[in-house]
Structures are given as structure tokens and as C-alpha cells.
């Protein structure tokens, strides 16, 4: 986990099958946020996969439970390949999925806004190159966007790399 925790942390161990264990570490941090770390150890008999203290995922939640993240890892790699984040503010749940490459660079992200009145928005951003990755929006240029009203009616737009609309439509 990225933060240092208050003592004590709570550690749990389960035997998934003979010689294969799952460990859970729960931590409370100085700002009273919580963190979880799940590790595997042993040989999973069905697939024959060998795990040696492999961190399956890290998760975090704020003390107010209004934001958090989950970062699962790929086996045989230490890189996080995707991250799920959420925030809640002004009756809107904002959910972000970041997909990363082997070297940890963001390839694309999906951002979903889900409002309490059932309206919302979905945005997909892509990375074109290192030079122009951070100059538009938050994580690249918008490739696709859709929005909908509380009654379920909505519209969508598809963009080219110059942010020109190349297709669009609506639904009822």
C-alpha cells in the first residue's frame, strides 16, 4: 500500500485448497481512510499456477466513503494494468476506469457520471502520443462521448484525433 498505516493492521489468512492460501491485510491510515491488500501464495491445483506472495489487488477508500480505488495486478507482472476509481459529489457518482500498458502508461480511460436523477454521461479518452497526451482534457483526447437524460433519452458522438465529430446519433 502506498500510505503508511496506523498500528495495528489486521491480517487474515484463508486456505483456498491444500497448499494454496489467500491473505488479506486491512489497514487504517492516519487520515482514517482504509486500505486492503490481497495476496496469493502457493500452487493453485486446477491451473497449476504458482504464486509467491503475489499481490492480486490493492484497494483504498476515504474515511468519508466518498472516494476510492481498486487496482488489480496481472500474474507474472508487477505492473498495475487497470485502475478503477470513484468519487461521489453533488449527488453524482463519478467512476473512472484507466487501462495501462506494460510500462504503466495510460492507454485509454472511461469516465462515467451517474447522477441521482438517473441522467448521466460516458466519455472515452485515448492516448495518441506522449506529446499530446496531457494537453486535452484529463487523460487524452475524447474518442467517444454519450449523455442521457433521466427519462432514458440520449445522444452520442464519435470524434477523430483532431476532436472533430465524425459520427453521432441519438436514442429514445
Contact 108, 90 (CB under 8 A): no
pLDDT at 127: 72
CB 26 within 8 A of CB 5: no
Q: What pLDDT sits at residue 130? A: 55
Q: Which residues contact 109 (CB under 8 A, 6 or more apart)?
A: 96, 97, 98, 99, 124, 125, 138, 139, 140
**What pLDDT does residue 1 have?**
40
Q: Specify the pTM.
A: 0.68
Whole-number pLDDT of residue 122: 94
Count other Cβ atoms within 10 Å, centred on residue 35: 20
pLDDT of residue 2: 44
Predicted local distance difference test score (pLDDT) of residue 7: 58
CA distance 9 to 29: 9
- Among 111, 23, 39, smallest CA distance to 73 is for 39
pLDDT in tens, the chain (172 residues): 445 555 568 999 999 888 899 999 999 988 889 999 999 999 888 888 888 888 888 999 999 889 999 988 876 655 557 888 889 988 888 888 887 776 666 777 888 999 999 999 999 988 765 554 444 445 578 899 999 999 999 999 999 888 899 999 999 9
In this prediction, residue 73 carries a pLDDT of 80
CA distance 111 to 23: 31
DSSP 32: S
Q: Cβ(165)–Cβ(156) under 8 Å?
A: no
| Helix, coil or strand: residue 68 | strand
Decide: 97 and 82 in contact? Cβ < 8 Å.
yes
Helix (H, G, I), strand (E, B) or coil at 88: strand
Amino acid at each position: 500500500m502506498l500510505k503508511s498505516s496506523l498500528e495495528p493492521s489486521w491480517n487474515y489468512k484463508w486456505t483456498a485448497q491444500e497448499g494454496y492460501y489467500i491473505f488479506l491485510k486491512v489497514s487504517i491510515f492516519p487520515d482514517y481512510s482504509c486500505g486492503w491488500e490481497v495476496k496469493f501464495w502457493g500452487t493453485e491445483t486446477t491451473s497449476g499456477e504458482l504464486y509467491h506472495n503475489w499481490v492480486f489487488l490493492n484497494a483504498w477508500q476515504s474515511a468519508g466513503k466518498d472516494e476510492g480505488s481498486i487496482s488489480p495486478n496481472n500474474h507474472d507482472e508487477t505492473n498495475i494494468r487497470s485502475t478503477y476509481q470513484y468519487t461521489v459529489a453533488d449527488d453524482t457518482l463519478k467512476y473512472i476506469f484507466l487501462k495501462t500498458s506494460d510500462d504503466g502508461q495510460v492507454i485509454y480511460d472511461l469516465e462515467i457520471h451517474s447522477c441521482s436523477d438517473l441522467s448521466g454521461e460516458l466519455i472515452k479518452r485515448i492516448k495518441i502520443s506522449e506529446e499530446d497526451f496531457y494537453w486535452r482534457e484529463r487523460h487524452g483526447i475524447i474518442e467517444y462521448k454519450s449523455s442521457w437524460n433521466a427519462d432514458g433519452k440520449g445522444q452520442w458522438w464519435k470524434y477523430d484525433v483532431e476532436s472533430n465529430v465524425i459520427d453521432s446519433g441519438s436514442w429514445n
